[in-house]
Amino acid sequence: MESVRLLTEADYEEVFRLSEYAFQYKLTEQQKMVRKQWMDKQEILGDFENGQLAAKVHLLPFTVFIHEQEWEMGGVAGVATWPEHRRKRKVAKLLTKSLERMRESGKSISFLHPFQVNFYRRFGWELFASYKKLIIENKQLIPLPEAAGRMVRASFQNVDLLNSVYEGYIRSYNGGLKRDHFWWEHFVFSKAEHAVLYIDKEHQAAGYLLYDMQNRQMHVKEMVAVHEEAKRGLWNFICQHDSMADQVTIVTTVDDPLPYLLKEPRIVQEIHPYFMARIVDLERFLQAYPFVKQENPLFWHVHDEVAPWNSAIYQLDEKGVKVFRKTTKEESACLHPPKRGLLLDINTAAALLLGYVRPWSLYQMGKLKGTEAEVKQLEAMISPKTTFFADFF
């Protein structure tokens, strides 16, 4: 008898109880009201034993930017099991069902924040985004040349301005979330007490900071600038806190050039692996992906243990994508080095297509198998754009 079903509003209190236990927090009634609004937009799968919820997973409807195109993305979150039901492969069952449902709904990619990277790698998710944390001591708060614009306080009333700056910035990376007003109100503004906008010399909003001040520590949660003038303006605003902050931390992109611009660039820089991605439907993803066209075809031999519909041979050429599926499990496995083409698993496909790791690096690590000529061809087909994910779910 099938033990997995979609949960409804009647199950929400049971969902809250499991989440509060698994993630060790307590929701107020007000927080539950907001959660219910968000849960109404989700699909929540539950696994039951003896009529009681034993495990669950939430599928969240998002849109993300990949190569400046908008893609529907299925977020996976709230994965939880009561301890008495753990190690019964309930989460494995729910994740497999989740992939099937996302595929049926037309989604080709999924993101999640892992409690353990290696656990989700077993199900085809792979790291796709890291962030850099800058730790700056008070004596290193030295202003840059003055910027021509001005700083203004911001709030939710300025959300359209903030979002226009955010989108202008995040579109230059792969994987960034498209934020709506609900997300800004409940999941962006909630992570920082203060918001300021930078208005540039052309009187355009060109940057913003989201930050907290606590115990002589300034924590910058988002530092977004669409040009160098705005970056200088934001940095100089941070420096104005030199009498209030013994230390400043900034969360930013891995490729942020800010440290190089500083008068004293010898600050602490930490790289943190953050979010994971999974190709749900590789054929659909490749059909929409903006490859740089090449004259000669390139073959991919892809293996996907959990979502077998992705296991196939893919021919990429200037006309598009052709898919060749084998008829038996042994033939479709794509586990042995091919005579022609590149051999890779679904995890590797996510990392390279999003730009988190370049094909040549994957080849050197043994994650991508084939000839050097084929790897160089793939390098030429994929834009150098890298990744960033500024949100959490």
pLDDT tens track for 161-200: 999 999 999 999 999 999 999 999 999 999 999 999 999 9
Domain 281-381 bears CATH identifier 3.50.50.60? no
7-35 burial, b for 16+ CB within 10 Å, e for fewer? beeebbeebbebbeebeeeeeeeeeeebb
Class of domain 4-112: alpha beta
Residue type, 193: E
Q: pLDDT at position 326, please?
A: 76
pLDDT tier at 339 (50, 70, 90 boundaries)? confident
Domain with CATH 3.30.1050.10 in the chain: 281-381
Q: pLDDT at position 2, please?
A: 67
Q: For 67-82, what is each residue's pLDDT tens digit?
A: 999 999 999 999 999 9
Residue of 334 and 208 predicted with greater confidence: 208
The pTM (predicted TM-score) of the whole model is: 0.94
Q: Please report which helix (H) or strand (E) contains residue 101, including its range.
A: helix 90-104
Architecture of domain 132-273: 3-Layer(aba) Sandwich (3.40)
Domain with CATH 3.40.630.30 in the chain: 4-112, 132-273
Cβ neighbour number for residue 230 with a 10 Å cutoff: 25
**Which of these, 136, 170, 154, lies nearest to 64 by C-alpha position?**
170
Burial class (CB in 10 A: 0-12, 13-18, 19+), 257: exposed
How many angstroms separate the Cα of 243 from the Cα of each of 137, 238, 239, 266? 12, 11, 9, 21
Q: How far apart are CA 289 and CA 277, in angstroms?
A: 15
Q: At what angle do helices 29-39 and 12-23 cross, to 10 degrees?
A: 110
Q: Residue 91 is encoded by which pair of tokens?
A: 């989460």
**Average pLDDT estimate for 24-37:** 96
Q: For 222-247, what is each residue's pLDDT tens digit?
A: 999 999 999 999 999 999 999 999 99
313 forms beta bridges with 301, 324
Helices H / strands E in the chain, number of each: 13, 17
